[in-house]
Structure 1
């Protein structure tokens, strides 16, 4: 019996110490050689956008509701609780899931794909991976359906608790394309709609279609040979619309509504809607399409919100309809480093058609809050913030804060938290390679920001460590130090379209103390790099470096800039 109790205790201890990449390695893992590790005492992020500095009027909220890289929102409701997911691409864990009671204030409760059995993104580019999830709640079960681009295709997972655990993927080989949606009809049947190539040869570049399949909830399998095209090209194929995608189906007052994104994810992005009385009958496009776009507004307007679309609708218990959708906040033309963000607007109805925003009207930054019952208890903690705020991690918890992201892999054997320090063990791979790297990053959520960390001085001359502003494998800045004989080499490495250049450097004596503070300040398209030795004033190393290379327009792809900590082999 004693042996059984001992075995059970050891098993429980092991299980409690594991939670995918959300769980930092335990104290025993600190036995690895510290010579291959760089440690960090804390990390601090502060956003200071001028637009967010004004006080909000009473009973109003600030757009975006999720600032920074939170694209492709999908939302569902269980009673008075709202849950929302976003695309995560090649970042791990996959598919952040957030909780709210009022549609405005959100808390990150975890990630849907947090176990190695759920997610394999080895060798993927940053903008491959998980695209456009749909989240739905139906009869006690949460369903999340999405696409693993270049890694397996479309799949669905389920959970009874949105915070997890979620099931392993159920792959849907019959479903091609991207952006799958799951719809539950009131007759007990379920359907999957998705983007894919049209039947036959495409008529033009960007010609796509929306397909519909019946889905068997008992077996969680697609009904064979049930697929058919329900939208060809978009709202008006005579105008050659491009990239119809992101479908969502709703049944409201006897009508089936199909809402889709159209025009691509850039400035021509829009939301269009169709309806039918019967899923077996053709869908009629709305004559007033698009129901949301910013493409007809002046490019040089002040504080623009652009590229709006990819909306999902939700009805509140009070009967109001609202839409979450993605948009961007460029600082120059179409340049933005913060990625595609999540916005919220009310949905109105006219002649039984939904409207999000009249054409020619800009998305407002300040909006009246949804009606919420006075008896409803608010969330006790809100941690996905918009507006201006300060976020700091002192690495005083056993688990890595869920706002940190890894790249491609849920394996975190190279990471540990001990005695208030984050320790990153050097990897044989580097950020310019499509592999597992020693990197943790959090979202840049402001045009004007200040990010800083305290890095413990490394003793091994074969490695370097510091901060990184990372957009993708070919575009990033690395601000770090490494020991070189009788001094420390502090440098800024710029990787611009794959070309690496040391754009600033200095030499520091070995006796500068035990740690060095590194600081990166961002101001729209500029980055400045500062350092501070113990008990000394801040020193400028590089002022106004070109940060436009971290914009989506220059770097390409679908993600936003990540700010974080990184360790690699020494730069010679």
Structure 2
């Protein structure tokens, strides 16, 4: 029947999820595909999207949206939630992941992927990146990364899916290809064979996806001698390809989602690791995506059978632009640094405004801070906020910020200093902060803007929206993950609204009338 159907040219743009959406995992359930990504120190955790055609996506929620599911208290940036995996079996969705520095490996379940999801069910073994596989005989396997660097390998064991209890001892099943950081392992069964697929080489220039196959779920796995996905030897605008997941579409064709980075000519990207899509071609029982061939590109043209279910979207709703007036609860694309503190961020205290109250901690700290933002999705963009804030106590501060982590962020705002209210701009690069502008605040309401280009961020403000005053600028490179200081950075830039008391609880509300993201 499939051979009788006519293929068509499918055109789409990569990445399908632009901005900080790394480590994608995907599953097909009835009429939809569902996709999730890592979230690290941000809350709520694990954004979840759905699509009918793999190209047009909409975010339907976040899997971990309660404190009982995810406690990020004290977690440093680039800790938290790593590499989630989504699976579907007999009417139930499963999301399995690692809470680094937290409760470790666990999974949650739901009958509706938009939630609510259950509280965590913990599992006993594995380092990071656990995955689930449901076999035809009813057995359920956990496959997880273990070890570090060149000692990284995959272990596997059976569990009771109702309780998380291990039914077997863990066995080493996969050593990868001899490179460092064998991680993100997935077990599949396709056409009667078991496939073990993982990333290798670390999330940088040497990143690649490798695969093996066996007649037994525990192997031994015959490894395909070359990567099935990498751009490590290619001069190409997309780099770091790997950490993939496979899915079969409605017509029996196979696809892969995976992370990649769009590096600038100078070798960095503030957007971080993004989610890409490519077709899978099977040859002699092996899946192939792109081994230094360049077939994974920004503009894709693919010959495939048309999906049974056409998309009901006329654009990719995962790309969010325009003005938000805070007339309702924040959408699922908004996120906090760690868990939000009750009463510190609300759209109900004054209807039509987002109201923030600063806490003791500020943007350089790893404690709970008042910060709500969204991922930057374009290199060239402007972010504008309308703030009303008249701080009455020394140290109170609020404004607009572009954030990578505690060591790298730029902000423009209003603060109380030496008995007067001032407009300021501050740059924090490699853990060192410096004020680049201070002037007396003349009006309570102010427009704050950060303009992003490939090379820099410009910080400006205006009282009337017509005349804009440039207060300073910082390099884009300093905000990129490539410019990390003490530990690797796994997140991209997030633009946000924030408030702090700089050592004490703030008493003065900072009210934001609207926020606008334009490209």
Name structure 2 gaps, 5 residues minimum.
1-7, 505-519
* In 2, Cα distance between equivalents of 1:266 and 1:548: 16
* In 1, Cα distance between equivalents of 2:50 and 2:139: 28
How far off its partner does 1:441 sit? 1.1
Name structure 1 gaps, 5 residues minimum.
1-56
Match of 1:295 among 223, 232, 238: 232
* In 2, Cα distance between equivalents of 1:283 and 1:479: 55
1:558 aligns with 2:490: yes
Contact 2:360 2:503 in 1 (8 A): no
Contact 1:93 1:410 in 2 (8 A): no
Q: Structure 2 length as normaliser, TM-score?
A: 0.90
How far off its partner does 1:481 sit? 1.2
Match of 2:259 among 301, 323, 326: 326
- With over 3 angstroms needed to count, the CA separation of the structure-2 counterparts of 1:105 and 1:130, relative to structure 1, is same
SS of the residue aligned with 1:312?
A: strand
How far off its partner does 1:86 sit? 0.3
**1:112-191, aligned counterparts within 5 Å?**
112-173=63-124, 175-191=125-141
Contact 2:26 2:247 in 1 (8 A): yes
Contact 1:461 1:570 in 2 (8 A): no
SS of the residue aligned with 1:553?
A: helix
* In 2, Cα distance between equivalents of 1:348 and 1:285: 17
* In 2, Cα distance between equivalents of 1:321 and 1:113: 29
1:73 aligns with 2:24: yes
**1:81-92, aligned counterparts within 5 Å?**
81-92=32-43
**1:126-525, aligned counterparts within 5 Å?**
126-173=77-124, 175-197=125-147, 205-225=149-169, 227-232=170-175, 234-235=176-177, 237=178, 241-287=179-225, 289-298=226-235, 304-361=237-294, 363-368=296-301, 371-373=305-307, 376=310, 378-379=312-313, 382-385=316-319, 390-397=321-328, 399-417=329-347, 418-462=350-394, 463-483=396-416, 488-509=421-442, 512=443, 514-525=444-455
Contact 2:411 2:427 in 1 (8 A): yes
What does residue 4 of structure 1 align with?
A: none
What does residue 24 of structure 1 align with?
A: none
1:336-362 Cα distance to aligned partner (Å, 9 max, x none): 110100000000011000000132425
* In 1, Cα distance between equivalents of 2:88 and 2:199: 22
Q: Structure 1 length as normaliser, TM-score?
A: 0.82
Contact 2:362 2:369 in 1 (8 A): yes
What does residue 102 of structure 1 align with?
A: 53
- With over 3 angstroms needed to count, the CA separation of the structure-2 counterparts of 1:101 and 1:127, relative to structure 1, is same
* In 2, Cα distance between equivalents of 1:327 and 1:115: 30
* In 2, Cα distance between equivalents of 1:433 and 1:570: 10
Q: Which has the higher helix share?
A: 1
1:197-242 Cα distance to aligned partner (Å, 9 max, x none): 2xxxx8xx532111111122344322142x111112x12x3xxx11
Q: CA RMSD in A?
A: 2.1
How far off its partner does 1:497 sit? 2.1
* In 2, Cα distance between equivalents of 1:376 and 1:472: 40
Q: Which of the pair has the greater relative contact order for Cα pairs under 8 Å at 6+ separation? A: 1
- With over 3 angstroms needed to count, the CA separation of the structure-2 counterparts of 1:353 and 1:243, relative to structure 1, is same
* In 2, Cα distance between equivalents of 1:124 and 1:484: 30
* In 2, Cα distance between equivalents of 1:216 and 1:571: 48
1:450-505 Cα distance to aligned partner (Å, 9 max, x none): 11100113242431111011111111112111245886411111122222210223
* In 2, Cα distance between equivalents of 1:485 and 1:95: 42
How far off its partner does 1:103 sit? 0.4
Aligned length: 490
How far off its partner does 1:448 sit? 1.1
How far off its partner does 1:376 sit? 4.0
* In 2, Cα distance between equivalents of 1:260 and 1:295: 16
* In 2, Cα distance between equivalents of 1:375 and 1:437: 44
* In 2, Cα distance between equivalents of 1:79 and 1:467: 42
What does residue 515 of structure 2 align with?
A: none
